[in-house]
Structure formats: C-alpha cells, structure tokens
Amino acid sequence: MKSMSRIILGALVAFAAFAPLSNALATTVEPLEPLPVHANTTRNIVDALASRHYVTTELDDHQSERIFDGYLDDLDPSKSYLLASDVAEFSQYRDSLDNLLRRGDVEPAFEIFNRYHLRVVNRFDKVIAMLQQGIDQFDFTKDESLELDRKEAHWATDMAELDDLWRKRVKNAILNLKLAGKDPKDIQDLLIKRYQNRLSRTVQTNSEDVFQLYMNSFTRTYDPHTQYFSPQTSENFNINMSLSLEGIGAVLQREDEYTKVVSLVPAGPADKSKQIFPNDKIVAVGQGEDGEMVDVIGWRLDEVVQLIRGKKDTIVRLDVIPAKAKDQAESKVVAITRNTVKLEEQSAKAEVIDVEQFGAKHKIGVIRIPTFYIDFKAYQQGDKDFKSTTRDVRELLTELMGEGVEGIVIDLRDNGGGSLQEARTLTGLFIDRGPTVQIRSKSNRVDILNDRDIRTVYDGPLAVLVNRLSASASEIFAGAIQDYQRGVIIGSQTFGKGTVQSLLPLNRGQLKLTQAKFYRITGESTQHKGILPDISYPADYDPDSIGESTLDSPLPWDKIQPTTFRPKNSVAEYLPDLRNLHEARVSHDPEFEYQKDANAYRQKLAEEKDVTLNEEKRKEEKESEDKFWLTLENTRREAEGLAKIDSLDELKNDDEPTLAQNGTPSASGGGITSPDEKSADGKSSEGGIKGNEMAGVVDVPKNSTPTEEESGLPEADKVQDKPDAYLVESSNILVDLISLTNRTAAKKAENNQI
C-alpha cells in the first residue's frame, strides 16, 4: 500500500502542472533519508571491496576525493542544476567520505542529493512556468548559441546563469520542433507535457535510488564494472541472465500518470487471457481472487511491476482501462494466472542468407546472439530444459545444417556479454577439445577453462561478426575462434572488457564485484584492446567515445604466459586473399560506401561543441545537412539502379529504407537535440526508473533514437526490410573462404596424384 505522503506528493505534482503561473512553483518534495539497513549494507560493501576486489585499493583521503567528485558528476554531469556555492558547501566532505563509509554513514550523500533534488524540481517548475507564458517570447533572430558538451563547464555562480542556460535549452527545443513543421500551440503543449512528465518522474525518487547511486559512485573508483545492485535491480539482472521470469508477460511503460501496456509476450499468460491488449492502461492491482485492489495511478513504474510480478500459479487482478474506451470510467477487472515467461526476444535466432558469386547461389546460415544467457537457477535445480545460449545455438546449428547451408556466421554485434560459462561451452560447439580462456585471480593464480567434450557440433566454414559493442563473453568467444584459426573474425574493434565479475549476496541487494581478469589462450588480455578483426568494416560506433578505454578507472592491459593449444584450422593462410577479395568487392559496393561516408559525417557532426539558436542560420545548416544526405542517398540509389529522388521527403513513401532508419536525419528533421533534451537530466533525476519494464519483467532497452515526442522528428513509415549489408558481405567472405579452401585441397590432391 502506498504511503499517504506519496499519494499527497503525486497530487501536488499534478496540481503544479496545471496551476496558474502564480502557483507554478508549488511542487514540494520531502527530504529523503537513508534506510536503517543501509548502514550495515555500506559496511558490507566496504569490507568486500577491501578483501575481494581484484585490485587492492586503499580507502583513504585520495579515494574520498574521487568518490566525492564522481558522485557530483553522477548527479549533475552537465552542471545544469547545482551552483558553485552548493559545491563549495559540500566540499567539507571531500576528504572525509572514506572514514564515514567505514562506519556505514551515508548521511552526506543524502544531504547532497536533497539539495540537488530540490534544484531539479524547482528547475522543472520554472521551465513549465516559462512555457506556460507562451513561446512567442523567444527571439530566433538573435545571434546566440547553446553549448552542447558541458563536461568541462564550470559550476554556475548564481541562479541567473542557470536560468540563461535553460532559456537556451528550451529555445533550442522549440526551434527543433519549428523546423520539424509543428505549429506554435502544438510545440507549447508538447514541451509542457514533456517537462511535466520529467517532473513527475523526478519526485518519485526514493531512498533506495539515492543509496544505489552513491554506492556506485564509490564502487566505480575501483573499476567501472563493480556495481551495487539494489533488491529491485538484482531481480532484473537475474531475469536478464536467465531470460525467464514468473509473471504475466507484458511490457509496460509509464505514460503521464498511468502504467500503459506496450506489448505482450507471445503465448504468455497475458496474451493467452485475450483480455488485455497493447495501449490498455492499468489503474489498480489486486492479489489473489479477492485481495484489495490497490490504486496505482501516479506510481513509479518499477513499483507497479513489483505488484504484478509473482510466483507461478498465483493470481493477479488488474483494473484496466481498455485502449478503445471512450472515457476513463470504462474500466474492467482482468484476472490472470501468473506463469513462467520465456523472454524469447533476447534468445539466439537463426536465418538463411542467399548470396550469389559468379552465377552460383550459396546458402549461408546466420545465428544472431544478443547476449550470453543462462538460467542458473533452473540449471542448479537439475531442470533438463534450462535456458542457455549454448543449448539454443546447438539446436539452431542442427536446423541450419539440415537446410544445407555451406557456412555459418555468428553475429555478435552489440552483444555486451553475460555468462563466462556460456562463452566457454559455446566455443566447444566449434572445436573438439582444448583450452578456451585463462582466468587470473587476485592472488595471481591462473586457471585454464577447457572444453573437454571431444564432440564438435559444427566443423564447417565459420565467421564471427563483431563491433565496438561486442564485449566480455563475446570477446572470449571471438578471441578463442581467432586463436584456434577456427574461423574468420569480421567487423570492427571490440569493446575491450577483459575483467570477470561475480555476484556477492549482501544483507540487502547484491554486489557485482570484479574478482579476476581473463586472458586469451595466447596469454594476451582483451582489456582496452579488445579483439582486432581479421577483416575490418567501417566502424558503426566512435571508438573514442565508446569502449573500455573511455570509462573511468579501467584496469590496464597486460599479458600472461600462453597456454598449450593446437590450431583447429588454417584460416590465417587465406587472410591476405580474403582481404583482397573483400576490398575489391566493397570498393564499388554502394551500401559500404554509404555507411563509410555516413559514419564519417556523423562523427564530424558529433565533434561540434555548440549549436546556433538563430533560426536562419539553423535553416542554412539544415539545408546543408539535407543536401549531404540527399547526395549520398542518390549516389547509393544510382549505383543500385534505382531512380534518383529530388527531396528527402520522397523517402517517406518509398519502398527503400529511409535515411532515418540508418541513423541519419529524417526528411523533416535536421534539428539538433542537446543531451539534456534526449533523456532525464543527469544520471539520477529519473530516480533510476527505467523507460520500459515488463510485468514481472526484464527491463526492455530504450531505443537510443529520440521518439517523435522527444525530438519532433516524425517516425519513418514502415518499409520493406533491406538486407543487412554487413551480413551479406560476411556471407560473401565465407563463400570466398570455402572457394579458397576447396582450391587448396584440390591442388594438394593433384600434387599427391602426381
């Protein structure tokens, strides 16, 4: 049951959002305090880091300074809320946090957060009040600009300085929407709604959010991958690893004060009930057949999710306003029996790609692995049907071989890792036996993980496709395949995460603790360097802004003794020819040329430090950008034998993918959105609430591209899927490898006959 203070607080927020201007600053927030249990949890974390972390780091005054600076950066990274006077006042704690942490005292963190929280709430109130006055107050003929990158900015000396920064941010948001063709009234309504939503999410921050944020500012001074998980975060992490949960199987999202159903898991309990549908709104939740219905309007999304999740075979009742209801009074109560829900969206998937070379058609199998998952609980309980990456890929390999594919591409793009065990066992599907990875612990002991199964599920031609977001377990697998010369590694340099984390249960929540580093069987670490592909593609992410080397306090690269292993193939001897054939093919491939030029242009735009707020100059910049994208698109179309277009607007009704789908500005876009306009300001002002969650649900990743409401860019019309150029070329490289291998084998056979 919600506390009365939380309900009153929600009412205050709603009142402030629609109050006259004179009352626009009426939103109030009560100071947050640490929970009694937090002191003991803090001491547990301090002890665990001191005794069990891979690196011995002294918790002293120097460390205290790093924690202090890191916490402020986590709260207000763009220096948009706190004043220099606030920071000066809090500097009394700069060199004493180490001693306080040992005692379990986190009061300073809450004192700092409460000041920050008040500044955020007051700021959103001011912005809403400004917008309520109308947008005709903004002069778009003035020559002024908005600083986009404020990492090196100073703390504001007074409130007037922050007022001016936010005036420019609001002006930029309005200009974006104007250039997208929206009329003034729609712009005003949209922005007021946007900031009301952000204000509502902000005031829902609770003590657990603050504690988790502060603990992670502390743990990150040891290395970037050591983290404290609150009980709620722990549950979501375990769901992510197992790809299963006990609930109803519905993806939920907070919309205004309501919890809205975004989608249903196919064949899940909610889907099977045929009583709840996407866009329905959940207004109350009851437990069992006759439990009290708890009103959840205005609640945090994660708290609603917790009410709906529950043990298998139990009943949850939802009071739902159907999407088609004519008014809010038309609600209905739906009873759903919870069950185990398999989250197949993140499971490995397979497809067959047909490629043609010299008039001959070839079938190549592709297996996409989004993450290295395993249901540890089911595995430990002896469940024969436990979910895991290796089990799923084994089945997919069998299916693809049954379809007569000539080679396999393992697609690990954007796969951030997961279970170390799964990386080892997955490698075993492609080799007969041998070491897969080396693990060095805090004591410098090195353990070698081996594949001891002599069986090989697939021994044919193999390629592994990676990119900058392929990390950790992905790098273990790709590194082993490369070291054994079992297959060809294709793509761009990987993330470079070469550390191993274990979960340590605490009295409250869990600590994900770095306890080891892993090394390739050659003895080389993947830390910082990652895996360098045998054949490189144009990078789809900027390596200077994404990767282990860009994180705070990463562990260094090093190497240990190699282990004994025997190559399983001889891919290396074919690499020069494979690279030459690849370069010859993509040198006139319109998709590769498009991606290369588009990525270079995006990187150039990303280097811009500010954006003009002069409408005419912004229009000129937009025209210049549109001209670039139009020329690039027509170059691609001409090379593919398609008709040229006269305007980017034509892409909206074209059967070809729009530029927006390739991550470039859409026809009516061109507006530049500052970081604070893309997401919640700072790293905590949304209280740690995820954008989407499942009802008993693993967090559903938010699209990194702003939605129409956020950016003012219209959504692209649905179009036919265009083949993934990188997958097609990877398939061609595999066909090249098959051809070269066959030619070499034929020559050896001929020589033997002679």
**What pLDDT sits at residue 437?**
96
Q: In the predicted model, what is the mean pLDDT of residues 675-685?
A: 34
Q: Is the distance from CB of 443 to CB of 516 less than 8 angstroms?
A: no
Per-residue pLDDT band for 595 (boundaries 50, 70, 90) equals: confident
Active site residue 472: yes
**Active-site option among 209, 483, 540, 736:** 483
Q: Is the distance from CB of 365 to CB of 408 less than 8 angstroms?
A: yes
**What pLDDT sits at residue 722?**
65
Give the range among 305-309, 528-532, 535-539, 542-546 with minimum mean pLDDT.
Answer: 542-546
Query: Amino acid identity, residue 100?
Result: L
Active site residue 497: yes
Percent of the chain with pLDDT over 70: 86
pTM: 0.82
Is residue 708 over pLDDT 80? no
Greatest CA separation for the chain? 99
Residue 328, Cβ density class (10 Å: 0-12 exposed, 13-18 middle, ≥19 buried):
exposed
Per-residue pLDDT band for 14 (boundaries 50, 70, 90) equals: very low
Q: Which of 230, 242, 104, 239 is nearest to 510 (CA)?
A: 230
How far is it, in rounded angstroms, from Cα 494 to Cα 275? Answer: 45
DSSP string, 424-480: HHHHHTTSSSEEEEEEEETT--EEEEEE-----S--S-EEEEE-TT--THHHHHHHH
Sign of CA dihedral 99, 102, 108, 109: positive
**What pLDDT sits at residue 652?**
58
Q: Is the distance from CB of 106 to CB of 39 less than 8 angstroms?
A: yes
Which tokens sit at 266?
């196919």
Give the range among 162-171, 241-250, 707-716 with minimum mean pLDDT.
Answer: 707-716
Per-residue pLDDT band for 269 (boundaries 50, 70, 90) equals: very high
Beta-carbon contacts of 147 under 8 Å, excluding residues fewer than 6 positions away, are 153, 609, 610
Per-residue pLDDT band for 139 (boundaries 50, 70, 90) equals: very high
In the chain the domains, ranked by start, together with CATH numbers, are 4-227 (no CATH), 344-554+556-587+726-744 (3.90.226.10)
Percent of the chain with pLDDT over 90: 62
Which tokens sit at 413?
């793009």
Beta-carbon contacts of 42 under 8 Å, excluding residues fewer than 6 positions away, are 101, 104, 105, 106, 215
Q: In the predicted model, what is the mean pLDDT of residues 358-368?
A: 94
Q: Which of 572, 585, 547 is nearest to 471 (CA)?
A: 547
How far is it, in rounded angstroms, from Cα 262 to Cα 282? Answer: 11
Q: Which of 1, 24, 2 is nearest to 13 (CA)?
A: 24
Q: Is the distance from CB of 331 to CB of 311 less than 8 angstroms?
A: no
Which tokens sit at 20?
């006259």
Residue 551 is classified by DSSP as: S
Beta-carbon contacts of 718 under 8 Å, excluding residues fewer than 6 positions away, are none
Beta-carbon contacts of 714 under 8 Å, excluding residues fewer than 6 positions away, are 180, 652, 666, 668, 708
How far is it, in rounded angstroms, from Cα 284 to Cα 295? Answer: 4
Active site residue 483: yes
Give the range among 6-15, 24-33, 83-92, 537-546 with minimum mean pLDDT.
Answer: 6-15
CA 266 distance to own-chain centroid:
23
Is residue 717 over pLDDT 90? no
The b/e string for 703-725 (b: 16+ C-beta within 10 A; e otherwise) is: eeebeeebbbbbeeeeeeeeebb
More confident residue, 328 or 484: 484
List Cα–Cα distances, 529 to 156, 517, 526, 550, 555, in angstroms.
Answer: 38, 14, 6, 12, 12
184-202 and 4-18 helices, crossing angle to 10°: 160
Q: Is the distance from CB of 361 to CB of 355 less than 8 angstroms?
A: yes
Angle, CA 654 vertex, CA 652 and CA 660 arms, to 5°: 45
**What pLDDT sits at residue 9?**
33
Task: For the chain, give the mean pLDDT.
Answer: 85
How far is it, in rounded angstroms, from Cα 355 to Cα 734? Answer: 10
Residue 72 is classified by DSSP as: H
Instruction: Determine what percent of the chain falls in helix, strand and coil, rounding each to the nearest 5.
Output: 40, 15, 40
Per-residue pLDDT band for 668 (boundaries 50, 70, 90) equals: very low
3-state secondary structure of 346: helix
Is residue 678 over pLDDT 80? no
How far is it, in rounded angstroms, from Cα 687 to Cα 680? Answer: 9
pLDDT digits (tens, 9 = 90+) for 610-655: 999 999 999 999 899 989 999 999 998 888 888 899 888 777 544 4
Q: Which of 196, 206, 110, 67 is nearest to 553 (CA)?
A: 67
How far is it, in rounded angstroms, from Cα 622 to Cα 518? Answer: 47
**Active-site option among 472, 668, 685, 730:** 472
Per-residue pLDDT band for 25 (boundaries 50, 70, 90) equals: low
**What pLDDT sits at residue 706?**
27
Q: Which of 88, 82, 213, 85 is nearest to 150 (CA)?
A: 82
Is residue 326 over pLDDT 80? no
Q: Which of 110, 726, 195, 750 is nearest to 412 (CA)?
A: 726
Q: In the predicted model, what is the mean pLDDT of residues 240-248?
A: 81
How far is it, in rounded angstroms, from Cα 18 to Cα 699? Answer: 31
Beta-carbon contacts of 189 under 8 Å, excluding residues fewer than 6 positions away, are none
More confident residue, 328 or 628: 628
**What pLDDT sits at residue 663?**
34
**Active-site option among 168, 260, 281, 497:** 497
The b/e string for 612-641 (b: 16+ C-beta within 10 A; e otherwise) is: bbbbeebeebbeebbebbbebbeebbeeee
